[in-house]
C-alpha cells in the first residue's frame, strides 16, 4: 500500500479526490476494503442477510464504471453479496436501491458537484441516506488499522449485475 492512504478521509457525504492523483484504483480498493471490514464487523446492521448486501453504483464521470467494478470485486472477495448497477445511475436511485433491496449499504462512485477532474466514493447507510459521522469514523478507523497492519484489499472477480 502507498503512504498516501492515511490522507484518505471522509468529508461531507464521502471521500473525493483528483482522478489519477489520489483518486486511483489502488485507493478505491483500499477504501472499499475498509468499508467491507466495517460491514462485516458492524454490530449495527439493520438487515438479516447471512452476509452483508452492498449496492454499488456509479455516475457518468471518467472511469466511474471501472472504479465501481473494482469496488464491487473487493467487496465480493470479502464475502459480501454485491449488486452492481448495470449502467450509470444517479445517487438517489442508488439510495433507493438500498432501501428496496434491504441492503446494508451502498458505495456510489461520484464526485457530485466537484469539477470534472475529481471523482469520489459515497457510502450510503442501510436507511439509504448519507452515512453518519460515526459510521464514516469507523470506516476511517478500519483504513488506519489496515494501513498499520499491512492488510491488503481482497481480490475477486465474481460480481452480479
| pTM beyond 0.85, yes or no | yes
Q: Are 154 and 78 in contact (CB under 8 A)?
A: yes
Residue linked to cell 489519477:
20
Tell me: pLDDT of 151 over 50: yes
Task: Give the integer Cα–Cα distance in Å for 38 and 160.
Answer: 21
Tell me: pLDDT of 13 over 80: no
Q: How far apart are the first and last CA of the chain?
A: 29
Q: Cα–Cα distances in Å, from 103 out to 42, 116, 122?
A: 14, 30, 15
Task: Name beta bridge partners: 120.
Answer: 16
Tell me: pLDDT of 136 over 90: yes
Task: Give the integer Cα–Cα distance in Å for 29 and 13.
Answer: 19
45 vs 56, more confident: 56
Tell me: pLDDT of 161 over 60: no
The model's pLDDT over 56-103, given as tens digits with 9 standing for 90+, comes to: 999 999 999 999 999 999 999 999 999 999 999 999 999 999 999 999
Task: Give the integer Cα–Cα distance in Å for 22 and 102.
Answer: 32
Q: Are 78 and 36 in contact (CB under 8 A)?
A: yes
Task: Give the integer Cα–Cα distance in Å for 136 and 129.
Answer: 13
Residue 2, pLDDT score: 45
Q: What is the arithmetic mean of pLDDT over 37-65?
A: 86
Task: Just list the catalytic residues.
Answer: 112
Q: What is the residue-averaged pLDDT of the chain?
A: 89
- Of 108, 111, 106, nearest to 36 (Cα)? 106
What are the domain boundaries of the chain? 8-149
Q: Is domain 8-149 annotated with CATH 3.40.50.300?
A: no
Task: Give the integer Cα–Cα distance in Å for 158 and 91.
Answer: 24
Amino acid at each position: 500500500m502507498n503512504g498516501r492512504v492515511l490522507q484518505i478521509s471522509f468529508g461531507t457525504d464521502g471521500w473525493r479526490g483528483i482522478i489519477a492523483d489520489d483518486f486511483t484504483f489502488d485507493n478505491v480498493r483500499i477504501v472499499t476494503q475498509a468499508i467491507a471490514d466495517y460491514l462485516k464487523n458492524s454490530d449495527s446492521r439493520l438487515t438479516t442477510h447471512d452476509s452483508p448486501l452492498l449496492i454499488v453504483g456509479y455516475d457518468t464521470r471518467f472511469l466511474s464504471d471501472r472504479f465501481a467494478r473494482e469496488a464491487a470485486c473487493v467487496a465480493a472477495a470479502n464475502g459480501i453479496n454485491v449488486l452492481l448497477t448495470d449502467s450509470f445511475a444517479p445517487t438517489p436511485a442508488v439510495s433507493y436501491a438500498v432501501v428496496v433491496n434491504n441492503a446494508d449499504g451502498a458505495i456510489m462512485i461520484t464526485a457530485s458537484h466537484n469539477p470534472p477532474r475529481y471523482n469520489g466514493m459515497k457510502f450510503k447507510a442501510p436507511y439509504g441516506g448519507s452515512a453518519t459521522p460515526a459510521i464514516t469514523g469507523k470506516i476511517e478507523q478500519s483504513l488506519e488499522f489496515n494501513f498499520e497492519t499491512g492488510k491488503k484489499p481482497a481480490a475477486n472477480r465474481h460480481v452480479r449485475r
